[in-house]
């Protein structure tokens, strides 16, 4: 695989391949062709199809761990100022031994943060000899941050209960079904992060076994026409 950028339009600074920050000006773009890749100081993006990063957008690398639900990532987090959406292909996350932050290297998994700030865990290919974690996305994903954490203590929140709603959703994350517990539930609708409705039911369970991994929004409507929303993570 070739590792380079195929098209560069309107970049603020050309040497971004060797720096921690990529800046794409408003109205400009970076295009990476299928079969090629771009390496952003340790985060390699290799799209399945030509992928365009449009401005205004900044990609930066932080040495501060991401935290969620009492869990921590490694001391390397890539952030974007604008969401990278509709990506398919392979992401390869590089790390240094001194960035493990007390995490057992053999437990590392990739973590992507969605636009709603939720994290989704992807158990990919761990190469300890080369200090990389990679994952190939066959279904499109959208993300604004990339890091790695321990598989047993990932950044995702295991249980979701909306305060004072009287409705709970479990298990979360899930690989198959989610169950809705609560009184007077009339309808449940499941949306992807693009706002598209992917499921709707008047039952208290939803089969997600055939869906791709990612983050979804579950909207539950009660008999008083009140709605409650939950973040659902599909593994």
Rank 67-71, 109-113, 151-155, 195-199 by mean pLDDT and report only the highest. 109-113
Within a 10 A sphere around the Cβ of 225, how many other Cβ atoms? 7
What CATH class has 160-234? mainly beta
Q: What is the mean pLDDT of residues 182-193?
A: 86
Q: How many CA atoms lie within 13 A of 57 on its CB side?
A: 20
Q: Cα(37)–Cα(101) distance, rounded to whole angstroms?
A: 28
> Phi and psi for 14 in degrees, rounded to 5?
-70, -35
pLDDT, greater one: 228 or 12: 228
Structure tokens at 122: 């992807």
**Mean pLDDT, rounded, of the chain:** 83
Structure tokens at 202: 């008047």
Q: Cα(37)–Cα(196) distance, rounded to whole angstroms?
A: 30
Does 161 have pLDDT greater than 50?
Answer: no
Residues 6+ away with beta carbon under 8 Å from 49: 34, 88, 89
CA distances from 83 to 113, 131, 226 (A): 10, 26, 30
> Phi and psi for 18 in degrees, rounded to 5?
-115, 10
Per-residue pLDDT of 80-133, as tens digits, reads: 999 999 999 999 999 999 999 999 999 999 999 988 788 888 888 999 999 999
Q: Residue 1 — pLDDT band, cuts 50, 70, 90? A: low
Q: What is the pTM of this model?
A: 0.63
Contact 126, 106 (CB under 8 A): yes
Domain limits, the chain: 7-153, 160-234
What CATH class has 7-153? mainly beta
> Phi and psi for 124 in degrees, rounded to 5?
-110, -150
> Phi and psi for 200 in degrees, rounded to 5?
-150, 140
7-153 and 160-234, same CATH topology: no
Q: Cα(169)–Cα(155) distance, rounded to whole angstroms?
A: 18
Does 164 have pLDDT greater than 70?
Answer: no
Tell me what percent of the residues of the chain surpass a pLDDT of 90. 49
Tell me what percent of the residues of the chain surpass a pLDDT of 70. 84
Whats the size of the chain, residue-wise?
235
């Amino acid at each position: 695989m070739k590792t380079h950028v195929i098209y560069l339009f309107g970049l603020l600074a050309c040497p971004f391949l060797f720096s921690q920050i990529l800046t794409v000006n408003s109205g400009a773009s970076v295009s990476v062709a299928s079969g090629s890749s771009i390496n952003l100081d340790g985060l390699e993006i290799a799209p399945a199809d030509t992928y365009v990063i449009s401005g205004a957008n900044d990609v930066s690398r932080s040495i501060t761990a991401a935290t969620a639900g009492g869990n921590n990532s490694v001391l390397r987090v890539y952030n974007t100022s604008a969401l990278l959406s509709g990506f398919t292909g392979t992401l390869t996350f590089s790390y240094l031994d001194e960035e493990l932050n007390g995490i057992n290297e053999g437990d590392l998994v990739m973590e992507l943060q969605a636009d709603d700030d939720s994290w989704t865990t992807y158990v990919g290919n761990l190469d300890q000899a080369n200090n990389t974690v990679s994952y190939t996305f066959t279904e499109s994903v959208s993300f604004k941050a990339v890091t790695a954490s321990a598989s047993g203590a990932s950044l995702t929140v295991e249980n979701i209960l909306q305060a004072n709603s009287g409705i709970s959703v479990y298990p979360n994350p899930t690989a198959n079904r989610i169950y809705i517990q609560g009184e007077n539930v009339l309808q449940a609708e499941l949306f992807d992060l693009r706002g598209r409705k992917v499921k709707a039911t008047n039952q208290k369970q939803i089969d997600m076994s055939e869906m791709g991994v990612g983050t979804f929004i579950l909207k539950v409507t009660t008999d008083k026409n009140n709605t409650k929303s939950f973040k659902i993570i599909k593994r």
